[in-house]
Structure 1
């Protein structure tokens, strides 16, 4: 389970390694982590991007690899949108994912899925709680008697109301709540908590349960998030909020930290995996996954070094393991393996159809919005994305190429269409053309390039040989300030807009950060 009694951990011999935040670069909001033996398993918010809820694996809390998804092929039958805040738990050989989603025709609910393996397949058990104003951020915990509870937030802030954190008994199958719900605590207006408290993560240490929670505005350019903690000797309270809250605030490198979970390593140290915005890449890269050690004061309360996210830190590496820090930040997809890597994403409402043909990606078009989408998380404010597209394979009015994507109504891209190279933008669902150029005659393949600075200043160019590049917007950057929605970062990837059954053929896709 997520519950961990840190008082009984036994230190083991370790060596220390260094790492630099983020440990999950890119849009990995609301991360959750659990340790099972020598393995760490994590997941994070998907929002409106499928496949839903990545499953990530690590041996040292620093180096992470995406190894699957909770819902890799389709959405849960009962849900339609807003796939937020998954919480991973483990007990008696079974993994549980509590997640938030919008019920079809209804409001936000907390649902649960389970599997005998961290990587799935997961069986969905449907929603556990759906309050009138919405229920989000589910978390499981056992009390001192061993009874199982679900803890969650009532989403009152969506209607200008308070945001109680509730608890209620749950059956052992995790399929239904039982007994009476009870309030743990709620936001205190006029304090740092502002309009909400959310993202509860509870651990037991000695006689106390500690509830790590987030307060105030989570997301977007006006975010004010921080981390607080409350404690009680019983799950039902009374809960005492720490008078030194918030225990984590922003610094010069990271802003709006919050919504994470606690995990203990084999040496007995406690860590917090949570999200924050980088002050440079900010909303464009989204809320990235950070790791910090939790320290415990003589007064029994937890704290973080410098009361803010670490820029660099050290962590024990049991068994002589090493950490390379963040994964290779550059992307190279050559399409030679006959499958897509697990880090590709697409809009939840439109699963793409594609095939592979001798090292080429054949992507079926769609007439909707910006067309069929295959995207990757961006991780920096400055990057260059390139792709190679087969000109001779485009027919019948299809427009296909390289795109920076906020969502399906907001994007900007460079594409091949009807023997022309087109620089286009969609804003609020309205499509416009910024520039056009004739495609090179007699060329089988054309390369397209997007260069981004400061997250939203974008230059587009094309090349017939990968050496000589022809700018399409003549040196004046396209302003993509409008791209990221309030709860997501920008994706960059491939799109194909056109009649159904029409296809675009891509040779490769690369991103240099």
Structure 2
């Protein structure tokens, strides 16, 4: 089980499934039907999962997008519902950005989320929040550890005597130093570390681990503690991430790394698998981790992937598929429509974590107050495929005041955006790159009550834009020749692209939108 649970040892058939091991092949054939990977489509890095009763709860990195740390619920590990966030409204008082690696755990009647964030005026630190039920509300208890080089990836674990420890990584790679994995006792209220910290193991730069090990998740099995961990480069087009495992009889060691590491590597379907937690379902063992889909990769982001493993005769985990994540089944198109008919925004909407927009819903309309900084007030939706179409309707574009622009956008971060906007009496295609805004094309905008806006994306980074003055009867491309715009600059190193709406200008201005749709094109 995830987090500080210590499940009873389970018996699994060992070895690879195949002609040389018919027993393992039979076991694989009877694995419960869960669903196609990714089980968490979209940008869900560093996923964590825990079982509470008959329900599974998961969360993941939100980085510099708010609201912070999604909370997802499932009865079968395959179909998930986004039900809220750990910090839906206010950020923890001590932190400002880089909300990474939440680890959700359950002990007794309490749910705990250990997480990483950037400390205001400091460096990365590990904090903890708790709730009386998995869906919250959560109370933050502040940072537990924040070393000068940064501390990340907190994980709770009880030792063989039942004493509670916090496991974490010292972020030495940020200054070209090694990355020790530490363990230190934590009090039962989860408010402070006590005693002395002990190093469990660190990266070996001469191996596949390269300049780091991180993302440790532990379980106990047949008298051993097992640490699943990630190594090498996590993110972007040049990622080299993979997953290894180490074990020890005692939590404090000595720790032995598996001679056949890495146990989970890239294949033709999934790239750079790593950073997850172990979970059991109907007697089978899985690692819920992230990986890039080979097609679309960094533009979609690191998605939640479930990979099954068994235990070998000599007591090491072995993943199905020859050390690779399970390949996806037939691709399933995702589709989202928001009629803005509720009382508040649906939980799928995201915004730059330090620049929460002022948005209200009234009579089936989204009213978005403009911002004058960066690319403006932004609301985005995670993308789930490299090819998709998004549309929205902007109401009364001629009523936008001078100096205001509003429309449909592909968001990388607040300073990297592609947008089709109305401004004055024109429709314009604008690019904001590293904070510098350029007009790529524009056309006269007739005096209409509404204008429909559309973006279509191919391979994650080729964007074509069009607009319609007549409710979608005819579409006019911008630029007029329909040429695609290169959006390769959009995603930051650790995030995928979002698509949504924006409004830039004085805070006295408000843009009004109707109906937003986002549909994968497979």
Report whether the alignment pairs 1:470 with 2:476: yes
Q: Residue in 2 aligned with 1:499?
A: 506
2:389 to 384, 395, 405: 384
Distance in 2 separating the partners of 1:482 and 1:408: 13
8 Å contact kept, 1:396–1:502 = no
SS in 2 for 1:178: coil
Contact 2:233 2:240 (C-alpha < 8 Å) held by counterparts: yes
Give the deviation of 1:269 after TM superposition.
1.8
Q: Say whether residues 1:264 and 2:280 are aligned partners.
A: yes
Kindly state the Cα deviation for residue 162 of structure 1 after the two structures are TM-superposed. 0.2
How has the CA–CA distance of structure 1 residues 251 and 193 changed in structure 2, closer, same or farther, with 3 Å as cutoff?
Answer: same
Match of 1:239 in 2: 255
Secondary structure class of the residue paired with 2:197: strand
Structure 1 residue 415, shift from structure 2 partner: 0.5
Q: Partners of 1:243 and 1:217 in 2: how far apart?
A: 21
Q: TM-score by structure 2 length? A: 0.93
2:292 maps to 277
TM-score by length of 1: 0.95
User: 1:436-475 alignment to 2 at 5 Å?
Assistant: 436-441=442-447, 443-464=448-469, 465-473=471-479, 474-475=481-482
Provide the secondary structure at the position in 1 that maps to 2:264: coil
Aligned equivalent of 2:410, options 404, 418, 442? 404
Partner of 1:93: 109
Equivalence for 1:223: 239
* TM alignment of 1:204-223, pairs within 5 A: 204-223=220-239
Asked whether the equivalents of residues 5 and 206 of structure 1 are also in contact (C-alpha less than 8 Å), the reply is: no
**Structure 1 residues 348, 309: closer, same or farther in 2, change over 3 A?**
same
CA distance, structure 2, for counterparts of residue 182 and residue 3 of structure 1: 18
Deviations 1:57-105 (A, max 9, x none): 0000111111111111111100111110000010011011100011111
- Who is 2:341 aligned against? 336
Describe how 1:400-439 pairs up with structure 2 within 5 A: 400-439=406-445
Selected match of 2:311 from 296, 301, 307: 296
Bigger relative CO (Cα 8 Å, ≥ 6 apart): 1
Give how far 1:293 is off.
1.3
**Residue deviations 1:42-71, cap 9 Å, x none?**
100011000000011000011111111111
1:41 pairs with 2:57: yes
**2:18 alignment counterpart:** none
| Match of residue 519 from structure 2 | 512
Equivalence for 2:27 = none
Residue 40 (structure 2) aligns with: 24
> What is the aligned partner in structure 2 of residue 102 from structure 1?
118
Deviation at 1:203, TM superposition (A): 0.3
Q: Is the 8 A contact 2:103 2:155 kept in 1?
A: yes
Larger displacement relative to structure 2 (394-403 or 45-54): 394-403
Q: Could you tell me how far apart the structure 1 residues matched to 2:328 and 2:66 are?
A: 32
Deviations 1:249-308 (A, max 9, x none): 00001100000001122x322111000011111000000000011211111100101210
Matched, 1:252 2:252: no
CA contact (8 A) 2:291 2:304 kept: yes
- Cα distance in 1 for partners of 2:259, 2:345 equals 49
Distance 1:10 1:220 in 2: 38
Query: In structure 1, what is the Cα distance between the partners aligned to 2:508 and 2:286?
Result: 49
Contact kept in structure 2, 1:6 and 1:268, CA below 8 Å: no
Q: Where does structure 1 differ by over 6 angstroms across 4 or more consecutive aligned residues? A: 325-328
Q: Which residue of 1 aligns with 2:15?
A: none
Structure 1 Cα separation of the partners of residues 133 and 5 of structure 2: 20
2:382 corresponds to 1:367: no
Counterpart of 1:157 in 2: which secondary structure? helix
- 2-structure distance, mates of 1:143, 1:327: 42
Q: Of 62, 68, 84, which aligns to 1:68? A: 84
Contact 1:281 1:379 in 2 (8 A): no
1:144 positional shift: 1.2
Q: Cα 1:188–1:57, aligned 2, differ >3 Å: closer, same or farther?
A: same
In the alignment, the residues of structure 1 paired with residue 519 and residue 66 of structure 2 have an alpha-carbon distance, to the nearest angstrom, of: 24
> Paired residue for 2:493?
486
2:173 counterpart SS class: helix
Which of 49, 68, 77 aligns to 1:52? It is: 68
Q: 1:15 to 1:225 in 2, by over 3 A?
A: closer
Moved more, 328-337 or 376-385: 328-337
Q: Secondary structure at the match of 1:80?
A: strand
Q: Deviations over 1:160-179 (max 9, x none)?
A: 00000000000000000011
Task: Say whether 1:119 aligns with 2:135.
Answer: yes
After superposition, the C-alpha distances for 1:18-43 in whole angstroms (9 at most, x for unaligned) are 52110001110000000011000010
Look up the SS of the partner of 1:105 in the other structure: coil
Q: Give me the whole-angstrom Cα distance separating, in 2, the residues matched to 1:2 and 1:49.
A: 25
| Unpaired segments ≥5 residues, structure 1 | 314-324
- Aligned partners of 1:6 and 1:264 also within 8 Å: no
Q: CA RMSD in A?
A: 1.6
Tell me, in whole angstroms, the C-alpha distance in 2 between the residues paired with 1:4 and 1:298.
24
